[in-house]
Structures are given as structure tokens and as C-alpha cells.
Amino acid sequence: MNEQFTLITGRTPEQGQGLHEGKDSEAYRRATALVEMNPEDMAHLGIEEGQVVRVRTVTGQVEVPVCAGTLPPGLLFIPMGPAANVLIGTETESTGMPPFKGLAAEVEPT
């Protein structure tokens, strides 16, 4: 196991419902400012549930709390929203679609 991860972004129930309250609401911010990790990966890096970590891609970095998720080892998930947007580049490979899923990412405790 290493500290290189693959990042995917996507919808969550909290994100989908939080956006109705306004994207500047606390509910939406809480719903989108987090990273899900595999529990074994968390243990390997000595990261506790709720601990703030730095997630970095070639495009940018964010500091968000960790939430244990049902992900395979090596995978990270961040809900679509402001935190994810910082990490995603604009290279669309002539399709119009940015790389919202499958980004190389690093995680380190803050």
C-alpha cells in the first residue's frame, strides 16, 4: 500500500438534497467538503475518522475531513462540489468532459 490514490467524484444523497438549501448553505458545504477512504488505507496512514487531511492532485489541493467509506483500497471519493472542483483539471481530451473520475491523487495528514 502506498500514498498514491485514484480519486473519483460523484453525487451523494446529502449533496443532492443540500443543494436545494443553497450552495452557500452549511448543509451543502458539509455534504461536499469531505473525502471518503478505505478503512485499511486510513489505518495504514494513521488517519482517524473525521481527521482533516490534505488531498493533492496535479491541479490543486484541498484540506477536508476523512470519512471511512465502502471503497476498495487505493480509491478516494469526494462528492461533486467546491472541494472536488479545486482538484479537477480542464483537459478534456477533445470531448468537452473534464477528468472528474480517475485522477491520480495523494493524501497526507495535515
Site residues, other proteins (CB under 8 A): 6, 8-13, 16-17, 19-24, 59-60, 69-72, 75, 77, 80-82, 85-86, 88-90, 92-102
Chain center to CA of 15: 13
Closer CB to other proteins, 61 or 109, in the complex: 61
Q: Report d(CA 7, CA 56) in Å as an integer.
A: 10
Closer CB to other proteins, 65 or 100, in the complex: 100
Closer CB to other proteins, 3 or 109, in the complex: 3
Chain center to CA of 78: 3
